[in-house]
Each structure stands twice: as C-alpha cells, then as structure tokens.
C-alpha cells in the first residue's frame, strides 16, 4: 500500500493520468482509507483549477513564461 508521502509525490502524475493502472489503483485505495490525503487531493485540485483559470486571464510576459515552463519541465524530468 502507498504511504502518505508517496501519495503526495504521485499527485501530479495521478491528476494528469500519467500513472500505470497498478499505481493508480494503489493510490485510490490509499485515498479511501486516508481522509487527510483525500482532503489534500481536493485542495490540490481546486488550487490547480484556480491557477489555470487565472493564468488564462492574465498575460504573462514571454520571458517569465519561458522561464516558468523550463522550471516546470526540469522539475518533472527530475522526478
């Protein structure tokens, strides 16, 4: 079974649908038995939605956008 730390580490990939079926099942089983993690998941989803909506409404200077995208890409590749 997945522990809370692993759950947090996998959230992004889970929400993006990038996990294999076995890991997804284990994570969902963890959510069933862990109210703090399901609460964190709900908050994470809400925050992600708000950020995406806000970013679509605000024009970000190209240099900042490029830097942010590079940081996010590098972070994803390092995990």
The per-residue pLDDT for range 29-57, each reduced to its tens digit, is: 999 999 999 999 999 999 988 888 887 77
Residues 6+ apart with CB under 8 A from 59: none
Look at residue 23 in the predicted model and tell me its pLDDT.
95
Give the DSSP letter of residue 58: S
For residue 79, pLDDT beyond 70: no
What is residue 58's predicted lDDT score, i.e. its pLDDT?
75
Q: Contact at 8 Å (CB) between 41 and 31?
A: yes
Backbone angles phi, psi at 59, to 5 degrees: -85, 120
Q: With cut-offs at 50, 70 and 90, classify the pLDDT of residue 63.
A: very high
Q: Residue 75: pLDDT band by 50, 70, 90 thresholds?
A: confident
Cα Rg, the chain, nearest whole Å: 15
């Amino acid at each position: 079974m997945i522990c809370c730390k692993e759950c947090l580490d996998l959230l992004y990939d889970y929400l993006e649908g990038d996990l294999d079926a076995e890991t997804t099942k284990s994570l969902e089983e963890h959510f069933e038995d862990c109210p703090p993690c399901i609460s964190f998941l709900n908050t994470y989803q809400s925050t992600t939605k708000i950020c995406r909506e806000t970013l679509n409404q605000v024009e970000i200077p190209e240099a900042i956008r490029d830097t942010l995208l590079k940081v996010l890409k590098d972070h994803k590749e390092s995990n």
